[in-house]
Amino acid sequence: MKKISSILLAVCCFCTLPFGTSCTGKVENEDSTLTEEKKVQNKFPEMSGDLAYTYIEKQLQFGPRVPGTATHKACAGWLRSELQKFCDTVLIQEAMVKTFDGKSVPIINIIGQFKPDTSQRILLASHWDSRPWADEDLKDHDKPIPAANDGASGVGILLELASKLKNTPPGIGVDIVFFDAEDMGKPEAMNSYCLGSEYWAKNPLPNGYKANCGVLLDMVGGKDAQFFYEGYSYQNAFKILSHTWGIAAELGFAARFVPEAIGNITDDHQQVTLHTQIPMMDIIQYDKQTKNFAYFWHTHNDNMEAIDKNTLKMVGTVISALVFNPPF
């Protein structure tokens, strides 16, 4: 997945800037003397990162989670059983989709719900599949990658959060969705990615699904990872985006959640917003020095050595705080 468009910054500066944003891409207050109301006012479950790390390890123990393989199916069964331990309702969406080369592959989207009858809701998602090949690696290009960070990290954090929500239910409804087949695309064809989220967004489960907003976690476990205002999120989900970065700043993570805009990144949140009109933003690691993702992206080095417990704890803490302090 995930190509970064360099066009966005020019567009943002001259056309679609949210109020109070400078052409540097940094968000500024209209009046710096005004004091904003604190975003974190309610207590929230503590996240350690240790459990998320264990959940990532478990996913990798199944092997690469490539749609249509036995290891993929086995991991899907485990993810379902884990969510059933914690959630009020668990739903499975199975379908056949076509990849860029015309092949039909089976996909499994997995949905866990807390308070399914509550109208005020937040959608939290990550993809759980592994890329079938290592196109950024110097060798073994045709072998699937472990996908510890690019896939399993977001799932691990959301499973840890689910375990907390079981005993500390939030005041709003929470939906955790694990999208399949995000990473089966062709690098030069951005519309060939995100097959699971596209299918779910066009065929929402549960039927008629609505949420106030959504958050996608992707590549959220790397050491010293930084997260910026992803371009599509900046344009289409600025309220939840800026609120989440504000929470991170209040919790002491301003150096890691940087309120500066970068280009559009092809990812699952685009499909959700496009087809459901739910404003969904993307928390995704980005390196401003290299203008790319982490060095191990789409290589066989995307393994447990790429995962940092401190980053897992940080991101998990921000998401936990968000669920108990939503912008609605």
Domains and CATH numbers, the chain: 8-28+39-324 (3.40.630.10)
For residue 14, what are its two tokens? 């001259």
The residue type found at 76 is A
pLDDT of residue 3: 60
Query: For 212-223, what is the HEC assignment?
Result: CEEEEEECCCEC
For the chain, the helix, strand and coil percentages under 3-state DSSP, each to the nearest 5: 35, 20, 45
pLDDT digits (tens, 9 = 90+) for 95-122: 999 999 999 999 999 999 999 999 999 9
Give the per-residue pLDDT at 138: 85
pLDDT under 70: residue ranges of the chain: 1-35
Over residues 23-40, the pLDDT tens digits come to 334 444 433 334 578 999
Q: What angle do CA 78, 83, 84 make, to 5 degrees?
A: 95
